[in-house]
Structure 1
Amino acid sequence: MKKILILTGALFLFLQSDAQPYLQSRAVDVSKDFEDFSNTYFFADSLSSFDPSTASGTISWKRHSLYARQAFNTTTVLPQPLDMLDFPETQYENNPRLQFKIHFISPQTVRLRVYTSPVIFPEEESLMLCGNPPSDETWIYSYEEGSHIYKGQSGSLVIKEYPFTILLCDENGRELTRTRHWADNDSTQIKVMPFQFIKRASDNIRSINPVFSLHPGEKIVGCGESPTALNKVGQKVHLFVTDPQSPESDQMYKPIPFFFSSRGYGMFMHTSAPVTCDFGASHAGTSKLFMADETLDLFLFWGKPDQIIDQYTDLTGKAAMPPVWSFGTWMSRITYFSQEEGYEIARQLRDNRIPSDVIHFDTGWFQTDWQCDYVFAPDRFPEAQKTINALLADGFHISSWQLQNLTPKNKHFPELIEKGPYV
């Protein structure tokens, strides 16, 4: 019996490996949930109501399920409309009509919120924003041929009633990007999933996936610190904090849910949930933003790159300019173990006329290597403060590495447990 349980557990982990990560440090690929045949899919279909005065309304979402389709000697996935099996059927909508709203922040910034549940939680202060975003009254509304149009100084936002589409245009009316609808598919075999959300069968959690058009030659820049190509088109980017431990990896220390396009628009995904951005990786003509969040809170920007970044940082905060020395060469390795090594490295740099502004001691300044106790080892750094002052006088700032967690053998560990300042 025990062997059967072990084999069953191993098989479960194997099957789960293609769905969600079972290793704590592995980046989450949110797109995998949108390939699961057990989940229920809802496609943004039509505008069921809209109030131009409040720029809010409801979207009709068509319920679908995934099916395998064999054609042209291959097996693909084809969604089909689904009749709801939920009980009691009189209490739920097969094709729910759910709220969305638009908030005009500035002449170049618009906030779009789309809800996937009839239950909308009260808005709270966000740590990702510098207070509540302001309101702008300069956008002018008009209506023509099934389209609600808001025109600003730098472009326009268009909401089409059917097929439901949100378009971003520049000041001359040129389309920058638009959301994808199922009706946009013009190929017999290659179908692109449209703007959608899912309800997961395993736990009823909802996740949303806005899908936008990507034009030939378009370039996408952003998403945080990454060693991969600057232009993210053709890449699948996982916005999930990891310790990649190698520049050869596509993982990131500092993912940021913000990017901008060479066509003159940008987007800030206001969520702390994992996000996977597929910028033309699975289909050359689409950008797919998979979010492990039931609400889409998306800030849209118009303008040149510097204008977009300025608008983005107006919302999230503008970083202070670092000191000039921080842009210089940082000399480091794993690790310098003594103040004598620090002095020797400084001497060699200056003797060889190698510009450098920082000496990074990494982990070796503790008494026990990697045991981070915030104290210089007295036998190897007997004059720590004097060393720091001397190196600073020679033009070197000091960086000392510190791991944020304390191990059980660390002298501060009992105090940490006793007083509770831990996560």
Structure 2
Amino acid sequence: MKHYQTSRLNEAIDVSIPFHQSDTLNFMGDQVTDFDPQTRSGQIKWLRSTRKPRLAFNQYDFFIEPAQSWEFPVEYPESPVMPFDISFVTPRTARIRIQTRRKVAKEQPSLMISGEISEDTSWTSATQNEHGYVWESPFGKVELGLHPFHLTFKDANGKILTQTWHHKDTFSLQNMYPVPFSFARSIQDMSHKIAATFSLSPGEKIYGTGESFTGLNKRGQRIDLWTRDSLSVQTGDMYKPIPFFLSSRQYGMFIHSTAPMTLDIGKEYDAANTIYMDDDSMDLFFFGDPKEVLGEYTALTGKSPVPPLWSFGLWMSRITYDSEAQTREVAQKLQEHQIPCDVIHLDTGWFEEDWRCDYEFSHTRFDDPRKMIEDLRKQGLRVSLWQIPYFTPTNRYFQELIDKGLVVTDPDGNLPTEDAILDFSNPETVAWYQEKIAELLEMGVSAIKADFGEGAPIFGRFHSGQSGRLEHNLYPLRYNKAVADVTERVNGEHIIWARSAWAGSQRYPIHWGGDTENTDSAMLACLRAALSIGLSGFTYWSHDIGGFVKESPEALYRRWMPFGMLTSHSRCHGAPPKEPWAYSDSFIDDFRAAAEMKYKLMPYIYTQAYLSSQAGHPLLRAMFLEFPDDPTCWMIEDQYFFGSDILVAPLFEETDHRIVYLPQGQWVDYQTGAVYEGQQWLTIQAGQIPIIMLVRAGASIPHVEAALTTDHIDWEKVSITNYTNEGITQGQGKFYHPLRQDWVEVN
């Protein structure tokens, strides 16, 4: 059984710890042997080493020293030689596979990969030089050094993007920094853990790693890639860690694994980026402008399909509507106050017992749920339902799931926790679960909220034959897929509403940002998370507008609302009240104005969604995705692009103005028509809607008259608004028509 240094169940795992312990045996990637340039395969010799303590001037430190084997029998290799290979997937993508021990388990198809991985033939044959071999494509070079082992990645002009770190490369008096490209063998369970160390250049910035709430630039951070119920948006824990990152030097890496990982991105040693993996093999994809990197990564792991049009409208929810009367009242109030909305979400209270998920409406509080759903649908409103994959002992399905063998067990065949946890690696479990979900969808439900999914126990045993070490992070992807597949089969639409995710989950939109505090800083953390997950391959994202944990302060909610409307998907959710009519009359007016703004922008939003899905780009974009040559844009985390043409700067404190950075060009205020010169910082006043929106001069933005639901939008009345350095005028252009699924010209 694997040894994990955690103090509580489902705590994030710091995989770097064994590499800093004196009782761990280390093997450093030293040299390449038996390399065949035709097959691009060979072996790496791993140099046995240990850490020796040294006292010097009243200070103890540890140093790496070569070690001799004292193992018996002597057949055990002192410095093992293990396979590795290089392959090329596209002209921009190289794949590196490294093993540290012989494989016994049969390799399973990867759920993270979309389609088949093919061999690209545009790379040149190997060219030999004094150090090893070089391969080239029109977009870059890969160099392999043999003695010592080195991998160097260059762009088409020969600039080094990054390279591996050999133990002889250190310039530090403390030669254990940085940890070189190596693996550690535990004396407790003989498990292997890999440290793949790459160089970081001066000024280099790293982005991505999933829905991270910490600073957008990850350099200087240590990040544990371990799905966890964060219970907050202001810690390092993540609902959606993704083993992918991209660099300001215009490359990206994807670690093709579900094992626990820790990324030390220049925290321990400023010039080194170390990927620590709790695995005995590494499968690394190297991608080499940021937009192209995202396109390559999503070509490999899948792009987000465009969700149905109605999903881009407002979702109204709270913890929780718990009766048919409440639900109908919300629908009536939305219409009474003329507030555009498309979805009413029923959270934890639609069962007979709150939170006890049994897939059945309460008989005492919902008189006729099928008719309720039908009636709401006639108004243009859809219904979304909450559920979870965990079953408490009082749940009526608890024993059935155990008896049928549909749950995760411990190594002895018992439950590893108090709950019965669905084992989505078991096809029979998926079939049982999808049957329950299908009954709800056939009743008329439009979307299923796939809550939780971060708690698959690490000591669990799964039908796949794997332990929680490899299934824990994979669990959200299996869960997302199960919900998405049955929804598409019954309703014909690509949509879920999920909290947890892993690499590949972007194929199953939509994901939201978890349990947000009701504070200014949490609002900003939500934007950082949106930008980070967008830089991890996810096109669509949402969050709980106004915050989740407590009642939203009116002033905060007023500023948060337009920010929430200018994300791909917009949901008001959390502790009650969330409905605008529970606040002041002026708040209702401001709420309505923000919602109407989004509905008027629906042709632009849907067009940008289509384009973004095709390219694998996010709808909410970090500034540098649109202006990669502007160094300032790489530093900004409190403003963003909504699609390609609208720059958004939310108000993160109680004020009506803020400092905004404008990139090169001219920018037109969406609300006032004021024109600003770019490439400068400016203090800009928010318009009537409390947010700053600036349109790129020269852009043509399609609009339509606001409607109470997307079903009621008249798509024959789309108009084009031109934003120029002379102001705002009506013009001509085109948009992607959501009903015709084609481009339409507007004159």
TM-score (norm 1): 0.89
Q: Does 1:262 align with 2:248?
A: yes
Q: Distance in 1 between matches of 2:57 and 2:287?
A: 42
> Counterpart of 2:391 in 1: which secondary structure?
coil
Aligned 8 A contact 2:88 2:123 in 1: yes
In the alignment, the residues of structure 2 paired with residue 322 and residue 158 of structure 1 have an alpha-carbon distance, to the nearest angstrom, of 42
Alpha-carbon distance, 1:330 to partner: 3.2
Give the Cα–Cα distance (whole angstroms) in 2 for the partners of residues 335 and 152 of structure 1. Answer: 56
Higher helix share: 2
For residue 76 of structure 1, what is the amino acid of its counterpart? D
> What is the correspondence of 1:16-415 to structure 2 with a 5 Å cutoff?
20-71=5-56, 74-89=59-74, 91-119=75-103, 123-140=107-124, 141-189=126-174, 191-302=177-288, 304-352=289-337, 354-415=339-400
Structure 1 residue matching 2:259: 3-state secondary structure: coil
Q: Which amino acid aligns with 2:91?
A: P
The C-alpha deviation readout for 1:196-221, integer Å capped at 9, x for no partner, is 10111101111111001111222222
Q: Taking structure 1 as reference, are residues 350 and 80 closer, same or farther at Cα in structure 2, changes over 3 Å only?
A: farther
Mapped partners of 1:288, 1:328: distance in 2: 42
CA shift for structure 1 position 395: 4.1
Aligned letter for 2:244? F
Change over 3 Å in CA distance of 1:323–1:31 after alignment to 2? same
Comparing both structures, which one devotes a greater share of its residues to strand? 1
Please list the CA deviations of residues 50-100 of structure 1 after superposition, one character each: whole Å capped at 9, or x if unmatched: 1111111112211111123344654332111111111112x1221222221
Counterpart amino acid of residue 153 in structure 1: P
Aligned-pair distance for 1:119? 4.6
Q: Distance in 2 between matches of 1:68 and 1:346?
A: 70
Percent of counterpart pairs with the same letter?
42
- The 1:95–1:251 alpha-carbon spacing in structure 2 relative to 1, beyond 3 Å, is same
8 A Cα contact 1:265 1:300, kept in partner: yes
Q: What is the alpha-carbon distance in structure 2 between the residues aligned to residue 182 and residue 353 of structure 1?
A: 67
**Would the alpha carbon gap of residues 82 and 127 (structure 1) be closer, same or farther in structure 2, given more than 3 Å must change?**
same
Query: Which range moved further: 173-182 or 123-132?
Result: 123-132
Cα distance change of structure 1 residues 278 and 326 upon mapping to structure 2, 3 Å threshold:
farther
CA offsets 1:323-367 (integer angstroms, 9 cap, x no match):
233344433322222223223334445555555433322101111
Shift of 1:379: 2.1
2:330 and 2:131 map into 1 onto residues whose CA distance is 70
Change (3 A) 1:55 1:354: same
Report the Cα offset of residue 101 of structure 1.
0.6
1:257-298 deviation digits (Å, cap 9, x = unpaired)? 112112111111111111111111211111110001100111
Q: Secondary structure at the match of 1:325?
A: helix
Instruction: Say whether the 8 Å CA contact 1:125–1:131 is kept in structure 2.
Output: no
Say if 1:219 and 1:345 are closer, same or farther in 2 by CA, change over 3 A: farther
Tell me the CA shift for residue 412 of structure 1.
2.2
Inter-CA distance 328–23: structure 2 relative to 1 (3 Å threshold): farther
2:19–2:179 Cα contact (<8 Å) kept: no
Deviations 1:92-120 (A, max 9, x none): 22122222111111111111111112456
Q: Supply the distance in 2 between the matched residues of 1:352 and 1:73 (Cα, whole angstroms).
A: 74
Return closer, same or farther for 1:41/1:157 CA change in 2, 3 Å cut-off.
Answer: same
> Is the alpha carbon distance of 1:246 and 1:40 closer, same or farther for their aligned partners in structure 2, counting shifts above 3 Å?
same
Using the TM superposition, name which of 172-181 and 157-166 deviates more: 157-166
Instruction: Report the CA distance between 1:153 and its aligned residue.
Output: 1.7
Q: How far did residue 249 of structure 1 move? A: 2.3
Q: Is the 8 A contact 1:211 1:287 kept in 2?
A: yes
Q: Deviations over 1:367-418 (max 9, x none)?
A: 1111111111122221322332333444433221112122222222233233
Counterpart-to-counterpart distance in 2, 1:66 and 1:349: 67
Instruction: Give the letter aligned to residue 206 of structure 2.
Output: I
Deviation, structure 1 residue 162 = 2.8
Q: Distance in 2 between matches of 1:315 and 1:259?
A: 14
Unmatched 5+ stretches in structure 1: 1-15
Query: How many angstroms does 1:176 deviate by?
Result: 0.3
Code of the residue aligned with 1:386 in structure 2: it is K
Structure 2: runs of 5 or more not aligned? 409-747
| Secondary structure of the structure 2 residue equivalent to 1:30 | coil
Q: What secondary structure does 1:210 align onto?
A: strand
Higher mean Cα deviation, 322-331 or 240-249? 322-331
The equivalent residue for 1:11 is none
Secondary structure at the aligned position of 1:176 is classed as strand
* 2:513 matched residue in structure 1: none
Question: TM-score, with normalisation over the residues of structure 2?
Answer: 0.52
Structure 2 CA distance for aligned equivalents of residues 235 and 358 of structure 1: 39
SS of match in other structure, 2:387: coil
Label 1:119 to 1:368 Cα distance change in 2 as closer, same or farther (>3 A).
closer
Aligned residues of 1:125 and 1:132 also touching (Cα < 8 A)? no
Distance 1:189 1:417 in 2: 54
Deviates more, 1:108-117 or 1:168-177: 108-117
Structure-2 residue corresponding to 1:12? none
Preserved CA contact (<8 Å) 1:238 1:274: yes
Sort the Cα spacing of 1:389 and 1:68 in 2 relative to 1 into closer, same or farther, 3 A. farther
Q: Cα 1:353–1:21, aligned 2, differ >3 Å: closer, same or farther? A: farther
Task: Specify the code of the residue in structure 2 equivalent to 1:35.
Answer: H
For the residues of structure 1 that align with 2:202 and 2:310, how far apart are their CA atoms? Answer: 41
Post-superposition offset of 1:137: 1.7
Once the two structures are TM-superposed, the CA of residue 192 in structure 1 deviates from its matched residue by: 1.3
| Counterpart position of 2:729 | none
Per-residue Cα deviation, 1:153-186 (whole angstroms, up to 9, x for no partner): 2101111123321011000010000011122211
Q: Contact 2:179/2:274 (CA < 8 Å) preserved in 1? A: no
Cα deviation digits, residues 130-149 of structure 1 (max 9, x gap): 34410112211211121310
> Partners in 1 of 2:315 and 2:89 — Cα distance?
40
